[in-house]
Amino acid sequence: MAASSEFEETEPARETIDGLQGPTVVEFGSPTCGHCRFALPLVASALDGHPKVRHIKIKDGSGRALGRSFKVKLWPTLVFMNAGKEVERLVRPREEASIREALGRIDPT
């Protein structure tokens, strides 16, 4: 699966995310966030080597239930999950290597 380039306006329910099978990265952020724009090519490049990983990009903000359920405080926050369980989390990643390492924990291809 390719990296998502746009933030989804409609957030899925937490139960939906928790019920996903297989490796998944849930990315919380905003299209107006400078840190999110900086991370965009890093995330896309890292995901290139992991075609089986589902990438869900959620527009977050005050009062958004999904982000609050994951206790997101800063953007972007990447939550690496496998079989509906959080394995690792990166907040404001600055280099592709840390994203690749986290991806390797959920998809050791």
> pLDDT tens, 25-73?
999 999 999 999 999 999 999 999 899 999 999 999 988 999 999 999 9
Nearest Cα to Cα of residue 43 among 87, 93, 1 = 93
35 is a domain residue:
yes
4 is a domain residue:
no
Are the CB atoms for 93 and 71 separated by under 8 Å? no
In the chain, how many domains are there? Answer: 1
Strand segments, DSSP code E, in 16-69 are 23-29, 54-59
* pLDDT tens readout for residues 94-107: 999 999 999 999 99
Tokens of 108: 């050791």
21 is a domain residue:
yes
